[in-house]
Structure 1
Amino acid sequence: MSRKVVWKTNDQDQLSLLPPSYDDLVPKNHPVRIVNSILDGIDLEILERTYKGGGTSSYHPKVLLKILVYAYLRNLYSSRKIEEALGENLHFMWLAGTARPDHNTISNFRSGRLKGHFKKIFNQVVVLLAEQGHLSLKDIYLDGTKIEANANRYTFVWAKGIKTSRERIQKQLKELWGYVEKVYQDEEQTPNMPDFGAIDPKKVSETIDQINQALEDRPIDKKVRQKLNYAKKNWPKNLERYDRQEGQMGGRNSMSRTDPDATFMRMKEDHMQNGQLKPGYNLQAGTNNQFIVNYSLAQTTSDTTALIGHVEGFIEGYGRAPEKLTADAGYGSEENYAHLESKGIEAFVKYGHFHKERLDEKRGTSKSPFAADKLYYDSQGDRYFCPMGQAMEHVDSYQRETKTGYLQTIDRYRARNCSGCPMRGACHQGKGNRTVERNHNLARLRDTARERLLGEEGIAHRKRRCWDVEAVFGNIKQNMGFKRFLLRGIDKVETEIGLIAMAHNLKKATLTA
């Protein structure tokens, strides 16, 4: 015998004696409440000062900031989708207090009001999370990852290409002047040769005018006339563009025309995993307990040159330096070691051949005893001794400047007499007595780094770095789906990645609450 099915009531026209409150419909431990309570505890005077007052009323910056942060926490990055959520999503309605800013207001706040100010707000939230015991500002784990810019992948400009174009213009100018000399070869008086050294718009334009004047009222080859007309019309204009683009690159090797602040970098976030060149930014993140405590954006592909700026940003934001910093071999340069030492930061930073040294030790292999860093050094006498026991006296010193402008001091040592030495063939193949060059400061810094890294604490920091900072990048790119910026320009992009960092932190705080 079948039983009668009973359906639950569903009356859309049913009236309530008391209208429901949004607060009753939001669970007590919901992430939106965490976002609301934490952002209520920060000072936004820096944003309030950007409003001039007068005219129509404005949405309070705290309301707009809550909306943006919670939207990023929910993987909503489009201002239009955020506007849509404010009219459809109960949690957004509760958080905004039924405020309904449109997508233009949200977009202008994100790319305008927050620009240049968000980092200070982010630091306040990090300090608040540290006070609640979620993280520590003493130990920092640093790494970098590349994120694609909102730029056309095929609008690249290369510094090397600009240099080649300048050289080509210079070469063609000389060829045109060679034609002038050929025209005047049977005459006693020839025009004065122009200066081909300065390839700038004004000088090139004057040189073309000088060539045209020299060939005036003379029979000219049709192709030469066409080339002169093309040069007069295009070369000065092209050189002005080259000057402007070189100024935008500021020493970088490339840029995108649709986002001049973006640099072309090799990225593997594509289905072929073959490392395509795409315009992007190098995100540097300092983490603790998988919380982002500091972030910065570099326009270089290498992590090495990004460490100092990142550390200085940390000090500026929190008024003090971290006690310890752990990073991989991409940051192990003399300049970085020296900077961390000057700031009193205990550095657990690998250098380039750290792992190779460890592997050689396990295999029982090592460098040749004739290698420069294997020679015995007498610090009191400032001299080296070769494997045969011959002293290698200090000859001179010189300074070498790196690409970043850092000056390295190099000392040179030379043996007195290598002739007739039975080990000469194994020792060195050059003519004359052997000379070695040593950077004592770098050797000292690497010895200190090696000692720290191989200690018990160093091993623990090296193991933790992998799951502390790299897990953060995995969450941002995979779980949050943030693999490409929406905004353009490094100032706006820095605000956008700051929102991602804050959303990541608050989402993690809700999980550990």
Structure 2
Amino acid sequence: MFKSYITNDNLLLPPSLGEMIPQNDPVRVVHRIIEQIDLKSLYRKYSHLGSHAYHPRLMLKLIVYAYLRNVYSSRRIEELSRNDIRFLWLSGMNVPDHNTINWFRSGRLKGMLKEVFATIVKFLEAEGFVSLERAYTDGTKIESVANRYTFVWGKSIQTRTGKIAEEINELWAYAESVTKQELLQEAPLLPEDISSEKVREVVEKIDETLRDVDCDKKIKQKVKRVKKAWPEQLERYEQQEKILQGRNSYSKTDPDATFMRMKEDYMRNKQLKPAYNVQISTNDQFITNYSLHQTTSDTTTYIEHLEQYKSLYGLYPKESIADAGYGSEENYLYAQEKGINTFIKYNYFHKEQSGKWMNDPFRSSNFYYNEKQDCFYCPMGQPMRLIYIQKQKTKTGFTQEVHHYQAVRCQGCPLRSLCHKSRNDRVIQVNHRLSKLKAKEKEKLLSEEGLMHRSQRPQDVEATFGNLKNNKNFKRFLCRGKDRTEVEFGLLSIAHNLAKVAS
């Protein structure tokens, strides 16, 4: 026998949607938490004029729950709002169309979603789910929706600008040789000083000079051609350099995206693709802070990321744990100044623990240093004296001091072939301040607490990235522009946190 069923029949009483949804369903967690948080800052983005809008709390619930369900398309969210019981229960039978959903995500939430995110994290802290005193930090690169083959390279602009300057200088020299007079009192154009206005002025003067002179017709034709083409070309380069803002590249279809090497390439050949460098801090696999950056290196993102942490919660984490990608002199000093206890590895930290590294007498880091006399001693016991101090600036403008020490009497030394291959006496470079910071960090990393953090970090922050990319299948942004992609990742982070509460 089979159980009977009747289709297409009117019910005497309408069913209750809430009775069809289990009490432990994630949709109830989304509803409960978003219903309790303060959204006054979001309300201010609405006007009292015009027709009534969907309630922002309703819209936020719908989108966050959609992201929790791995649904990121606005059209798909609209479809589920019409047909899915959970969405219908969550929205109170309201069905916003995909344009409304997309505008709320890209317009209403832009510039203020981080405040909503922080409010939810504070709520989770009050509930005992998360702590803001410890932050495990790491970064990953997520591809932009931009076209992968419409790129602009900063070095190509510099190369082309240099060729233009070189050819203009040749035209100057030719015009002066033909007219037997100096056209310009100033020095030739340099690539770094060249501009569209200056090129237009110079080419115009060369054209006027050669107009009434009997010279090579090909040169005259070239002058007329460059008079029209080069100023326009340089104006385009100037606009591109404004967009680059010191970066090496950008995509024409998403100027905020920078070309980065992606590990997730299908052929595993680390192909360059337009992407954003996403940084997160986690605690017990809950995301407590996120930020998007246009630089490929994690090192330069650390200070900005922690400053945002401070702006969201009014405090810095008491403990900051990160991998070797963040171990720089600037970052160590910054954390020390802010009172943050760091457990951040540096380059060669693991290699330093190997016997091969520690027992190598020819490695400069193993040379004995006499602090009073400010000299090192080579493997033969000969002093290496300070010859000069070099000051250099990083990309962020941070100044480093590098001391150079040179050995004496390397000629005829029986260990020279094992020690170095330079023709002259060996020179080593040492950053004393960084060496002291590394030694202090090494001591903490090798302690019991450091070992605990080092084992916990990949389980905490790297596992979170694995969940976002693989379980939630979020490997490429859907929106263009840094502001919109930041909103996308913010919604994903909120969904991730609420899913953990539900589980």
Gaps of 5+ in 1: none
1:295-354 deviations in Å (ceiling 9; x for gaps): 111111111111111111111111111121221111111111111222222211111111
Encode CA deviations 1:438-482: one digit per residue, 9 max, x unaligned: 211111111112112222221221111122111111111111111
Describe the shift of the 1:222–1:342 C-alpha distance in structure 2 as closer, same or farther (beyond 3 A): same
Q: 1:445 aligns to what? A: 437
| Partner Cα distance (2:168, 2:133) in 1 | 61
User: In the alignment, residue 313 of structure 2 is paired with which amino acid?
Assistant: Y
Tell me, in whole angstroms, the C-alpha distance in 1 between the residues paired with 2:500 and 2:451. 26
3-state secondary structure, aligned to 2:391? strand
Deviates more, 1:29-38 or 1:455-464: 455-464
- Secondary structure at 1:399 match in 2: strand
Identify which of 1, 6, 11 aligns with 1:10.
6
Shift in alpha-carbon separation, 1:427–1:6, aligned structure 2, 3 A:
closer
Quote the residue 2:496 is aligned against. 504
Q: Does 1:339 align with 2:334?
A: yes
Q: How does 1:344-423 map to 2 (within 5 A)?
A: 344-358=339-353, 360-361=354-355, 364=356, 366=358, 368-392=360-384, 397-413=389-405
Range 174-183 or range 81-90, more displaced: 174-183
2:119 matches 1:127:
no
Measured in 2, the distance between the counterparts of 1:380 and 1:221 equals: 72
Correspondent of 2:239 among 240, 244, 266 = 244
Task: Kindly provide the amino acid, as one letter, of the partner of residue 443 in structure 2.
Answer: E
**SS of 1:384's equivalent?**
strand
Aligned positions, number:
500
Q: Which residue in the other structure is 1:461 paired with?
A: 453
Query: 1:476: which partner in 2?
Result: 468
After TM superposition, list the pairs within 5 Å mapping 1:106-145 onto structure 2: 106-145=101-140
User: Match for 1:12: what amino acid?
Assistant: N
Deviates more, 1:492-501 or 1:321-330: 321-330
- For 2:11 and 2:424, locate their aligned partners in 1 and report how far apart those are by CA, in whole Å: 102
Partner secondary structure for residue 392 of structure 2: strand
Q: What is the CA deviation profile of residues 151-170 of structure 1, one whole-angstrom value per residue up to 9, with x for unaligned ones?
A: 11111111100001101111
CA-CA distance at 1:22 after TM superposition: 2.1
2:275 counterpart SS class: strand
Q: Which amino acid aligns with 1:403?
A: K
Residue by residue over 1:371-422, the C-alpha shift from the partner in whole angstroms, topping out at 9 and shown as x without a partner, is 3322222334544344455555555544221222111123344567777766
Q: Say which of 151, 156, 162 aligns to 1:161.
A: 156
Aligned residue among 479, 482, 488 for 1:487: 479
- Flag the 1:426–1:482 CA change in 2: closer, same or farther, 3 A: closer
State the AA in 1 paired with 2:461.
Answer: V
* AA aligned opposite 1:410: V
Query: How many angstroms apart in 1 are the aligned matches of 2:183 and 2:397?
Result: 44
Distance 2:267 2:412 in 1: 58
Give the structure 1 partner of residue 169 of structure 2: 174
Does 2:257 correspond to 1:279?
A: no
**Which residue in 1 is equivalent to 2:61?**
66
Matched position secondary structure for 2:282:
strand
Instruction: Tell me the distance in 2 between the aligned counterparts of 1:330 and 1:192.
Output: 51
Q: C-alpha root-mean-square deviation of aligned residues, in Å?
A: 2.3
Paired amino acid for 1:15: L
* TM-aligned CA distance change 1:267 to 1:417, over 3 Å: closer
Amino acid in structure 1 at the alignment position of 2:189:
F
CA drift of 1:179 comes to 3.7
Instruction: Give 3-state SS (helix, strand or coil) of 1:215's partner.
Output: helix
Report the CA distance between 1:81 and its aligned residue.
Answer: 1.4
Letter of the structure 2 residue corresponding to residue 384 of structure 1: F
The CA deviation string for residues 273-297 of structure 1, in whole angstroms up to 9 with x for no partner, is: 2111100001111111111111111
CA contact (8 A) 2:196 2:230 kept: yes
User: SS state of the match for residue 358, structure 2?
Assistant: coil
- Corresponding residue number in structure 2 for 1:324: 319
Q: Taking structure 1 as reference, are residues 261 and 6 closer, same or farther at Cα in structure 2, changes over 3 Å only?
A: closer
Gaps of 5+ in 2: none
> 2:89 aligned to 89, 94, 109, which one?
94
2:358–2:366 Cα contact (<8 Å) kept: no
2:46 to 43, 51, 58: 51
2:259 is paired with a residue of what secondary structure?
Answer: strand
Flag the 1:273–1:433 CA change in 2: closer, same or farther, 3 A. Answer: closer
User: Aligned equivalents of 2:92 and 2:7: distance in 1?
Assistant: 27
Once residues 71 and 312 of structure 2 are traced to their aligned partners in structure 1, the CA distance between those partners, rounded to angstroms, is 28
TM-score, length basis structure 1: 0.91
2:189 is equivalent to residue 196 of structure 1 = yes
TM-score (norm 2): 0.93
Question: More deviation in 379-388 or 449-458?
Answer: 379-388
SS, match of residue 211 in structure 2? coil
CA contact (8 A) 2:148 2:273 kept: yes
Question: What are the Cα deviations for residues 254-282 of structure 1, in whole angstroms up to 9, with x where unaligned?
Answer: 11111111000111323212111100001
* Secondary structure at 2:50 match in 1: coil
How far does residue 137 in structure 1 lie from its aligned partner after superposition? 1.7
Query: Share of identical aligned residues, percent?
Result: 49
Aligned AA for 1:14?
Answer: N
Which secondary structure state, in structure 2, belongs to the residue aligned with residue 275 of structure 1? coil
After TM superposition, the structure 1 = structure 2 runs for residues 26-45 of structure 1, keeping only pairs within 5 Å, are: 26-45=21-40
1:354 and 1:119 map into 2 onto residues whose CA distance is: 35
Amino acid in structure 1 at the alignment position of 2:245: G
Between the aligned partners of 2:493 and 2:459, the Cα distance in structure 1 is 17
- Structure-2 change in CA distance of 1:89 and 1:401 (3 Å): same
How far apart, CA to CA, are the structure 2 residues paired with 1:430 and 1:169?
40
Match of 2:100 in 1: 105
The correspondence for 1:76, drawn from 48, 64, 71, is: 71
Distance (whole Å) between structure 2 residues aligned to residue 367 and residue 287 of structure 1: 38
Structure 2 residue aligned with 1:298, among 271, 288, 293? Answer: 293
Q: 410-419 or 393-402: which moved more?
A: 410-419
Alignment check: 8 A CA contact 2:207 2:224 kept = no
Structure 1, 422-431 or 153-162: larger mean CA deviation: 422-431
Q: 2:457 & 2:346 partners in 1: Cα distance?
A: 15
